[in-house]
Amino acid sequence: MATVKILYDESAKNMEEYLKRKREQEGPTTEHSCKLDTLAGEFDSAQFERGSKGNHAIHLIQSWSPAESKKLSRDEIHAMGVELVSRFAPGHQYVVQTHTEEAHAHNHIVLNPVSIETGKRIRNKLGHIRTLRGLNDDIARERGLSVL
């Protein structure tokens, strides 16, 4: 069963540094409209250009049970992370990095809360976790995986 949680972060730099440290030892990384090595600066620039203030990053963690982690390849896990963020936040910059070093495989998804296409900001709202969980469940069901 796949689960997802959402964290709002005042600093994209912390996530950039974490993902850069993990890059070589972990699974695949996908960058969308930004580069991991300059993620914090790119997020800040996009937000400044659009006059948007607030949290600088959204951190999603998508994880699987140890049993399902054994059944899935790193590439399958990674693809589900990319699909989740693409459905949840089209037009936003993001980085997805897959970690398989623990019994439960998981994706770290760092997302710019401001759309580079529309300038609209994803606000810190309880409804977002419900939306994310619904999307995550849909993605799992489409692949024949269990849901909570």
Q: How far is it, in rounded angstroms, from Cα 101 to Cα 16?
A: 19
pLDDT tens, per residue, the chain with 148 residues: 689 998 887 789 999 998 998 876 667 999 999 999 999 999 999 999 999 888 899 999 999 989 999 999 999 999 999 999 999 999 999 999 999 888 889 999 999 999 999 999 998 778 899 999 999 999 999 998 888 7
Q: How far is it, in rounded angstroms, from Cα 12 to Cα 44?
A: 8
Per-residue model confidence (pLDDT) at position 26? 65
Which among 51, 27, 46 has a CA at the least distance from the CA of 94?
Answer: 46
Indicate the pTM of the whole model: 0.93
Per-residue model confidence (pLDDT) at position 74? 92
Per-residue model confidence (pLDDT) at position 47? 94
3-state helix, strand, coil in the chain (%, to 5): 45, 25, 35
Residue 83's CB is within 10 A of a number of other CB atoms, namely 18
Number of H helices, E strands in the chain: 5, 5
Residue type, 128: H
> What are the structure tokens assigned to 5, written together?
């949680």
Per-residue model confidence (pLDDT) at position 55? 87
